[in-house]
């Protein structure tokens, strides 16, 4: 587990109430992902809560995709460039930014028939895996690996979907 975890929250939307309970759940999702992945350094992450309109603009600007999405990840560490975890220093303990579309999280929770909290936690875990260097868009094997990790972490949070 990380020695020290700092999460910076920013709310840029008004469609969902950002409560202490929601922030605490996001923190648990970040912590459980770091623990699952054996990340042992101090870590800083920013989580920005946004809506369809704002994430659409970000998706267009940074990915060239002209549509809203549920979550965007902006890693600050290139794990492919080193041998595992980065050295500890002021800049390198900032893993990156998560931009979470709460409007989309609510809609997807309703679509999939589970809670808003479960969807928001799942999207946070998904994004954290991206910040740690995983990418489901590189191959089918990478996608399967990331799905497995997500399922294990969400289950540890007590939010697994039972069929």
- Top-confidence residue, 12 or 77: 12
- According to the model, what pLDDT value does residue 160 have? 84
Rounded Cα gap, residues 91 and 89, in angstroms: 6
The one-character DSSP state at 141 is H
Find the mean pLDDT for residues 94-114. 96
- According to the model, what pLDDT value does residue 2 have? 46
- According to the model, what pLDDT value does residue 142 have? 85
How sure is the predictor about 120, in pLDDT bands with cuts at 50, 70 and 90?
very high
pLDDT at 123 over 60: yes
Residue-wise burial string across 58-80, b where 16 or more C-beta atoms lie within 10 A, e elsewhere: bbeeeeeeeebbbbbbbbbbeee
pLDDT at 88 over 70: no
Q: In the chain, which ranges are E strands?
A: 5-11, 43-50, 71-75, 94-101
- According to the model, what pLDDT value does residue 139 have? 80
Q: Does the pTM exceed 0.95?
A: no
pLDDT at 91 over 60: no
Of 144, 137, 131, the residue nearest 29 (C-alpha): 131
Which residues neighbour 85 within 8 Å (Cβ) at sequence distance 6 or greater? 39, 40, 41
Average pLDDT of the residues of the chain = 90
- Walk me through the domains of the chain, giving residue ranges and CATH numbers: 5-156 (3.40.390.30)
Q: Are 145 and 134 in contact (CB under 8 A)?
A: yes
Find the mean pLDDT for residues 115-129. 97
């Amino acid at each position: 587990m990380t020695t020290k975890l700092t999460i910076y929250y920013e709310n840029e939307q008004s469609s969902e109430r950002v409560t202490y309970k929601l922030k605490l759940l996001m923190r648990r999702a970040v912590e459980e992902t770091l623990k699952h992945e054996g990340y042992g350094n101090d870590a800083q992450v920013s989580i920005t809560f946004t809506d369809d309109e704002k994430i659409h603009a970000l998706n267009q600007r940074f990915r060239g995709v002209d549509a809203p999405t549920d979550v965007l990840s902006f890693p600050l560490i290139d794990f492919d460039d080193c041998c595992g975890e980065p050295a500890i220093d002021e800049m390198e303990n900032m893993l990156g930014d998560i931009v979470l579309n709460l409007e989309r999280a609510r809609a997807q929770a309703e679509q999939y028939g589970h809670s808003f909290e479960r969807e928001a936690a799942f999207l946070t875990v998904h994004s954290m895996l991206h910040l740690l260097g995983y990418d489901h868009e590189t191959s089918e094997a990478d996608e399967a690996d990331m799905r497995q990790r997500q399922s294990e972490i969400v289950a540890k949070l007590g939010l697994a979907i039972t069929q």
